[in-house]
Amino acid sequence: IKYNLVDYTNERKIQKRSLVRIGGLAIFLGYIIGLSTIYFTGNLENIRFNGISLYGSTLLLTSAAIFVLGICDDLIQLSPKFRLLFQFIIAGFTWTQGLRIDEIDITLISSRFEILVLPNYISLLITVIWVVAIINAINWMDGLDGLAPGLVIISSLAYFLIEYSNNIFSISFILISLLGTAIAFLFYNYNPAKILMGDGGSYFFGYNLAILSFLSSSGSSAYLKLHIPFLIMFVPILDMIYVIFRRIITGKKPFNADKTHIHHRLINSGLNERQSVRYILSIALITATLA
């Protein structure tokens, strides 16, 4: 408040008062502190993050980079084009470090299909688009108090149950750190919110869920079981697809902000903020359970 780091209200935003928007700083620090508890488990020798396609070092570096991008936007209001370009650069760097979608498992569609092996340029294209899409999908869901952290809690818990049941403890520690951070933040972000996560928090959560979605669905970065992340993150993905196509059809730029997101439409239908959040999180919980 002293330095005017607040998110002012406008005609597009549902919130009726200005709130501090640098909650992403608490989210990032909470995640790092949570992850550091591995040191006290006594299993440090058995849990090596760099054993999973450079997962540990790459994840920490790129997560920090995407967080810095978001927090800078919260502080000095970066242009949308610069933010999008920087997201593509980070996603591309992630791909060069081995965290990539090399194969896609579509056998669920039909037994006649096999796992699609992707050429390098297609792998790069799909990986980068996927990462950038999920980052922005989670960011766009940060429109109602408690909605974005609620979706992160559900997604992280679903991925965690998959990883833990398969004894993949390295990724499980990452997921439980995300889960704990999101739960803690929800206490201060649920309606009426006391603080906002801002782009720093939503970018950070979105990036981690994007990477974990293809790691968690297979236990490695080898292939993507398409149905699992689509079910776990059904609401933000469907909302993003609907909004982008609607903007294109109506002649608007795909990334220009408007009031066509699912939470805006629920509010316009007569529901209050808490009811809208509960409806959306209920759908997310059902689809994540199916996954």
pLDDT tens-digit map of 240-265:
999 888 888 887 777 667 777 888 88
Sign of the dihedral defined by the CA atoms of residues 167, 106, 115, 118, in that order: negative
**Range ranked top by mean pLDDT from 199-213, 221-235, 261-275:** 199-213
DSSP strand pairing (103-105 vs 116-117)? antiparallel
Who contacts 233 (Cβ-Cβ below 8 Å, separation ≥6)? 134, 137, 151, 155, 209, 213
**Amino acid 109: pLDDT:** 66
**What is the chain's alpha carbon radius of gyration, rounded to the nearest angstrom?**
18
**Amino acid 219: pLDDT:** 46
**Amino acid 53: pLDDT:** 39
pLDDT tens-digit map of 77-116:
888 899 999 999 999 999 998 888 888 877 666 666 677 7
Label residue 47 by pLDDT band (50, 70, 90). low
The one-letter amino acid code at 53 reads S
Tokens of 45: 């020798």
Q: Which of 18-27, 41-50, 223-232, 270-279 has the lowest mean pLDDT?
A: 41-50
pLDDT reading at 44 higher than 80: no
pLDDT tens-digit map of 125-181:
999 999 999 999 999 998 888 999 999 999 999 999 988 888 777 788 889 999 999
Closest CA to 234 of 138, 139, 110, 127: 138
Contacts 24+ apart (CB under 8 A), 6-12: 7/196, 7/198, 12/257, 12/258, 12/259
More confident residue, 193 or 207: 207
**Amino acid 191: pLDDT:** 86
Label residue 290 by pLDDT band (50, 70, 90). very high
Between CA 123 and CA 257 the distance in angstroms is 29
DSSP strand pairing (223-225 vs 103-105)? parallel
- Mean pLDDT over each residue of the chain, to the nearest integer: 83
Label residue 214 by pLDDT band (50, 70, 90). confident
**Amino acid 110: pLDDT:** 63
Phi, psi for 253 (deg, rounded to 5): -70, 140
- Helix ranges (H only) for the chain are 23-36, 55-76, 80-96, 120-140, 147-165, 169-189, 198-216, 227-232, 234-249, 262-268, 273-290
C-alpha distances in Å from residue 42, one per residue of 9, 33, 37, 47: 48, 17, 10, 10
More confident residue, 171 or 285: 285
